[in-house]
């Protein structure tokens, strides 16, 4: 795992959102210490103390410290005052994507990007596991996060604040119960094991408060739809051509129909590509869909086609550093304009394991 270094002597240098976090207030009931940045520094101190006390390995220590630094980075965008208190709904989701993007820009590999995303996304889960949590919740979270590290981050989060709420003892007990449940399911340091990838995929895709374990589904797939995902210039088309399978390319359809992305006629090329995908899958033939597919809703539509036609869907991710993609894009015969490219970078929704049978990283250097 390739993780960026963190400046512990001057943590503000490692976090680009310090000013916004200093300006973001929190509810005194749970955060009497003050603003988000003050809380963050306290959590970071606790994380350092915990890492030293239990002797974490260097990689786990770095992830824990980064998790402490970034766990509330989504609060500036989500905090508002309502009914006499400060609220930050959705800050974990917003912060998770900010953290992943920061790691990407700092040169972290995909494994590290996934790890920090999960740490931030689920950072409060152990604190609120009890009383509504169950084994299925644990199994779901384990598909994305290292639950042992997550529990340490939760402990750092609780210790790194001044809490006046009567809920505090319950949250401490909740973290301990979370650790016990993860240990019992053998998924403290590894994902909960399903009998097959299809069961894991459907469980995660349809996850709800009514989910249960054990969860088993027969895999009906007879062929495979490979869906590429990555910025222009990341190597998708080169890889697709090497698979020895039929390839459906949106670029090819645009060229054949004489249309450009972003125009009204682009929908015609897109629908033509979809129709070709359906024809190939209906013939029980494995194939590659070669496009950027940067948005999750775009990928979901293709996965739905796979389900309809009895194929399994695998997402092939191309995630090299942005500079490498820019160089690759400039070398393409049909390069994307810089302003369009930057918009694509901003809108990139990295695929999760809940989206397909498998999410495989083909390139991240």
pLDDT along the chain (365 residues), means of 10: 89 92 93 95 97 96 97 97 93 96 91 96 92 88 96 95 82 90 94 96 92 93 97 93 96 87 82 96 98 95 97 96 85 79 88 94 91
C-beta separation of 119 from 67 below 8 A: yes
Q: Which CATH superfamily hosts domain 223-363?
A: P-loop containing nucleotide triphosphate hydrolases (3.40.50.300)
pTM for the predicted model, two decimal places: 0.90
Other C-beta atoms within 10 Å of 209: how many? 9
Q: According to CATH, where is 1.10.3210 located in the chain? A: 11-192
The tens digit of pLDDT for each residue in 158-196 reads: 999 998 877 777 888 899 999 999 999 999 999 999 999
Give the chain's radius of gyration (CA, Å): 22
Which CATH topology does 11-192 take? Hypothetical protein af1432 (1.10.3210)
At 274 the pLDDT is: 96
- Angle made by CA atoms 329, 331, 332, in degrees to the nearest 5: 70
At 237 the pLDDT is: 93
At 138 the pLDDT is: 95
Both tokens assigned to 141: 């979270």
C-beta separation of 315 from 229 below 8 A: yes
CA count, 13 A, side-chain hemisphere, 315: 28
Helices first, then strands: H and E counts in the chain: 16, 7
- The backbone region for 133, taken as left when phi is positive above 0, alpha when psi lies in -120 to 50, beta otherwise, is beta
At 340 the pLDDT is: 83
The tens digit of pLDDT for each residue in 10-56 reads: 899 899 999 999 999 999 988 999 999 999 999 999 999 999 999 99
DSSP-derived secondary structure letter, 6: -
What's the CA gap between 8 and 1, in Å, rounded?
20
- The backbone region for 258, taken as left when phi is positive above 0, alpha when psi lies in -120 to 50, beta otherwise, is left
Q: According to CATH, where is 3.40.50.300 located in the chain? A: 223-363
DSSP-derived secondary structure letter, 356: S
C-beta separation of 302 from 275 below 8 A: no
What's the CA gap between 243 and 251, in Å, rounded?
18
At 331 the pLDDT is: 82
């Amino acid at each position: 795992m390739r993780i960026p270094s963190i400046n512990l002597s001057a943590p503000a240098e490692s976090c680009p959102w310090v000013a916004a976090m200093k300006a973001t207030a929190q509810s005194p009931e749970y955060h009497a210490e003050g603003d988000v940045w003050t809380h963050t520094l306290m959590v970071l101190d606790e994380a350092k103390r915990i890492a030293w006390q239990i002797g974490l390995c260097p990689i786990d220590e770095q992830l824990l410290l980064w998790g402490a630094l970034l766990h509330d980075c989504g609060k500036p965008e989500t905090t508002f005052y309502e009914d006499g208190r400060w609220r930050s709904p959705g800050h974990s989701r917003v912060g998770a994507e900010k953290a992943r993007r920061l790691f990407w820009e700092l040169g972290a590999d995909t494994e590290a990007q996934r790890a920090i995303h999960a740490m931030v996304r689920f950072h409060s889960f152990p604190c609120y596991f009890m009383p509504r949590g169950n084994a299925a919740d644990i199994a779901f979270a384990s598909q994305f996060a290292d639950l042992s590290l997550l529990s340490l981050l939760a402990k750092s989060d609780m210790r790194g604040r001044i809490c006046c709420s009567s809920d505090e003892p319950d949250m401490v007990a909740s973290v301990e119960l979370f650790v016990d449940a993860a240990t019992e399911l053998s998924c403290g340091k590894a994902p909960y094991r399903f009998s097959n990838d299809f069961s894991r995929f459907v469980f995660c895709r349809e996850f709800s408060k009514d989910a249960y374990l054990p969860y088993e589904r027969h895999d009906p797939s007879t062929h495979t739809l490979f869906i590429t995902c990555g910025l222009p210039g990341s190597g998708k088309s080169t890889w697709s051509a090497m698979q020895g399978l039929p390839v459906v390319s949106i670029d090819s359809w645009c060229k054949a129909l004489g249309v450009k992305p972003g125009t009204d006629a682009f929908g015609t090329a897109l629908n033509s590509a979809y129709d070709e995908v359906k024809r190939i899958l209906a013939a029980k033939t494995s194939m590659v869909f070669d496009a950027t597919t940067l948005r999750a809703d775009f990928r979901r539509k293709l996965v739905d086609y796979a389900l309809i036609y009895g194929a399994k869907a695998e997402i092939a991710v191309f995630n090299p550093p942005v500079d490498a993609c820019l160089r690759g894009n400039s070398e393409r015969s049909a390069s994307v304009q810089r302003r369009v490219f930057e918009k694509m970078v901003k809108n990139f929704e990295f695929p999760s394991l809940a989206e397909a049978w498998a999410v495989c990283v083909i390139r991240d250097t």
